[in-house]
Amino acid sequence: MSFHDLLQADAARVQARLDAALAGLDDVPVVQAMRYAVQGGKRLRAFLVMESARLHGVGPEASVSAAAAVEALHAYSLIHDDMPCMDDDDLRRGLPTVHVKWDEATAVLAGDALQTLAFELLCDPALGAAERRLALVAGLARASGAQGMVLGQALDIAAETAPAPLTLPEITRLQAGKTGALICFSAEAGALMAGADPAPLRAYATAMGLAFQIADDILDVTGDEAATGKRVGKDADAGKATFVSHLGLEGARARASELVQQAENALSPYGDRAAALIEAARFVISRQS
Amino acid sequence: MSFHDLLQADAARVQARLDAALAGLDDVPVVQAMRYAVQGGKRLRAFLVMESARLHGVGPEASVSAAAAVEALHAYSLIHDDMPCMDDDDLRRGLPTVHVKWDEATAVLAGDALQTLAFELLCDPALGAAERRLALVAGLARASGAQGMVLGQALDIAAETAPAPLTLPEITRLQAGKTGALICFSAEAGALMAGADPAPLRAYATAMGLAFQIADDILDVTGDEAATGKRVGKDADAGKATFVSHLGLEGARARASELVQQAENALSPYGDRAAALIEAARFVISRQS
């Protein structure tokens, strides 16, 4: 199967897993908001989990709960990041954000419970031996907490009131936390499930995660809201330092291409079997949303 | 050792464990707020974890990470509950709440990262075999997510705009989620660590958790801010249905005493070895803060 077919098939599997996890809960607004927030999106992180698992002989039935966990974690971070006290976004995946459709209290709680759900999903016995599932719990916690995703978001908020725009190394560090850490964990997850060495996948995902963010900065300048499903031009309007403000559009595109090449090289130990992951890295810098 | 000596000794151990977990992180406001939020408090949940562990032959060195996890989870819930969009409290444990001392963005992120830290702490190998640690992860997730603590908080918020005050069964259900679920998990944790039957501890903690909440409602009427370290009289001012508004002060006291007796009875399988847990249940309804 091609990358796009796999992406779609994995997305459907993950949606079904998330729907099942959220079925049977009390039908309060918080739970409705959780269901709403786990719809849509590219599901790139889910694909990374399931494809890195396939690469190690772990099939979709076994890996889907880890993919769903990563997407639940990602959805929580989007709900909280969109809140008025954070990035104050009213549009996400082409729809009103949770605090706009419901209210801020519901947004706080739905995000909180989606984070919890992520860790609960990693307890699914289908994921393998307890030791392996625990490695996933520890890995997801490291990637998403105060040394990973939350740190990146904290640095991003601090940058808004910093006396000088961030330097390129500072932006790189910020993004390594904010988006890179979870992308890295997603790609490593398959190796963790199989008890294999995650180093090649980590190198791949580190380069690819940075390329992903550079592409995001480019889309904020060149994209349109109909395609991206979110507001564009926000960074420039806010005078925020980005990869594009530092490198220029062409410089940013060139850097992203180099990173995709690095990502490909990192997968050489896997030979042809890594074709879909390589396609994924190329997709990351060519996407329009 | 008496209950109060154990409570103090366990509190010191848990604080040291939390300090160690938060050492070495980037010194950004979010991390400072995390350190601030895990100070103080009665540490009753930590005591329940460590005493239920002792009851099953699991010592403090082995159980302290689970106790720290529960306190980190509890601290996250307090930070988010205190936010303006939720209960809008400016005082907690006698100090300004996190969003007052820092800002709302820092409060959202510090709470988020403390939840993550809770699950990370449960991966500590000192807690025993992977299977046991995973049972703790699954138990904490169930207790704190959309079928436990977050559900309780969601019902609490919904009650504010409900056409009629909540009935006694509705308040009981709300509190079983909001405070009861985490208290239950804390008491069960020792049995989970030892692979023992958690049923007696669950029955104990279910009764005790409800008594705890009734005592909270009584303190909201009879307590003072200097002793409780938080605002009092809020529920009555808001015209909120509570155990006191339904049962009256004396009726609420009588119900709490009955529940403490139920909690004691549930521990009969443990005989004299449960003395400190029984003292804890009595403490819960006699406390002034």
User: Model ipTM?
Assistant: 0.94
- What is the token pair recorded at B134? 């995973």
Whether residue B80 and residue A113 make contact (CB cut-off 8 A), yes or no, is no
In angstroms, the CA A144 to CA A178 distance is 9
* Residues in chain B closer than 8 A to A156 (CB atoms): none
**Which is nearest to B184 in space by CA: B159, B207, B205, B156?**
B205
Q: Which residues pair with A53 in a beta bridge?
A: none
Q: Identity (one letter) of the amino acid at A162?
A: A
Q: Which residues pair with B191 in a beta bridge?
A: none
**Which is nearest to B121 in space by CA: A120, A142, A185?**
A142
Question: Which of B28, B76, B123 is facing A138, going by the closest CB pair?
Answer: B123
* pLDDT bracket for residue B52 (50, 70, 90): very high
- Domains of chain A in start order, with CATH, are 3-286 (1.10.600.10)
Instruction: Measure A144 CA to nearest chain B CA, in Å.
Output: 7
Q: Count of CB atoms within 10 A of residue B154's CB?
A: 25
Taking 80 as the threshold, does the pLDDT of residue A225 lie above it? no
- Please give the residue of chain A at the shortest CA–CA distance from B73: A116
User: pLDDT tens for residues B270-286?
Assistant: 999 999 999 999 999 98
Q: Identity (one letter) of the amino acid at A246?
A: H
Whether residue A154 and residue B130 make contact (CB cut-off 8 A), yes or no, is no
Q: Count of CB atoms within 10 A of residue B239's CB?
A: 9
Q: Using N-to-C axis directions, what is the helix angle for A275-286 and A44-55, rounded to 10°?
A: 160
What percent of chain A has pLDDT above 70? 99
Whether residue A150 and residue B109 make contact (CB cut-off 8 A), yes or no, is yes
Taking 90 as the threshold, does the pLDDT of residue A2 lie above it? no
- What is the token pair recorded at A10? 């994995």
Please, which residues 223-282 of chain A have a Cβ atom closer than 8 Å to chain B? Answer: none
Please, which residues 50-89 of chain A have a Cβ atom closer than 8 Å to chain B? Answer: 76, 80, 83, 85-86
Please, which residues 32-51 of chain A have a Cβ atom closer than 8 Å to chain B? Answer: 34
User: What integer pLDDT is reported at residue A63 of this predicted model?
Assistant: 98
**How high is the mean pLDDT of chain B?**
94
Cα B141 to Cα A206, A235, B115: the distances in Å are 29, 36, 10
Q: Count of CB atoms within 10 A of residue B279's CB?
A: 17
- Please give the residue of chain B at the shortest CA–CA distance from A124: B138
User: pLDDT tens for residues A130-140?
Assistant: 999 999 999 99
* Residues in chain A closer than 8 A to B105 (CB atoms): 85-86, 157
User: pLDDT tens for residues B98-124?
Assistant: 999 999 999 999 999 999 999 999 999
* Residues in chain B closer than 8 A to A111 (CB atoms): 112
- B91's enclosing H/E stretch is strand B91-92
* Residues in chain B closer than 8 A to A141 (CB atoms): 116-117, 119-120, 123
- Please give the residue of chain A at the shortest CA–CA distance from B118: A141
What's the angle, vertex CA B100, arms to CA A110 and CA B148, rounded to 5? 30
User: pLDDT tens for residues B119-149?
Assistant: 999 999 999 999 999 999 999 999 999 999 9
User: What integer pLDDT is reported at residue A12 of this predicted model?
Assistant: 97
Q: The tokens 């050489």 sit on which residue?
A: A268
Whether residue A105 and residue B147 make contact (CB cut-off 8 A), yes or no, is no
Please, which residues 101-130 of chain A have a Cβ atom closer than 8 Å to chain B? Answer: 103-106, 108-109, 111-113, 115-117, 119-120, 122-123, 129-130
Taking 80 as the threshold, does the pLDDT of residue A120 lie above it? yes
In angstroms, the CA A209 to CA A181 distance is 8
In angstroms, the CA B264 to CA B277 distance is 8
Cα B3 to Cα A105, B18, B275: the distances in Å are 37, 22, 8
Taking 80 as the threshold, does the pLDDT of residue A29 lie above it? yes
Cβ–Cβ under 8 Å, residues B259 and B183: no
User: pLDDT tens for residues A60-77?
Assistant: 999 999 999 999 999 999
Task: Taking residues A91-119, report their average pLDDT.
Answer: 96
Q: How many CB pairs below 8 A link A and B? A: 153
Q: The tokens 């969003």 sit on which residue?
A: B99
**If DSSP codes are grouped into helix, strand and coil, which group holds residue B214?**
helix
Q: Which residues pair with A257 in a beta bridge?
A: none
Taking 90 as the threshold, does the pLDDT of residue B13 lie above it? yes
In angstroms, the CA A289 to CA A203 distance is 24
Taking 90 as the threshold, does the pLDDT of residue B66 lie above it? yes
Give just the sign of the alpha carbon dihedral A142, B194, B12, B93: positive
User: pLDDT tens for residues A148-162?
Assistant: 999 999 999 888 888
* Residues in chain B closer than 8 A to A119 (CB atoms): 119, 137, 140-141
Among the ranges given (A10-19, A118-127, B214-223), the one the predictor scored with the smallest mean pLDDT? B214-223
In angstroms, the CA A221 to CA B289 distance is 54
Question: Which of B85, B123, B150 is facing A103, going by the closest CB pair?
Answer: B85
Question: Which of B22, B103, B116 is facing A141, going by the closest CB pair?
Answer: B116
Taking 80 as the threshold, does the pLDDT of residue B238 lie above it? no
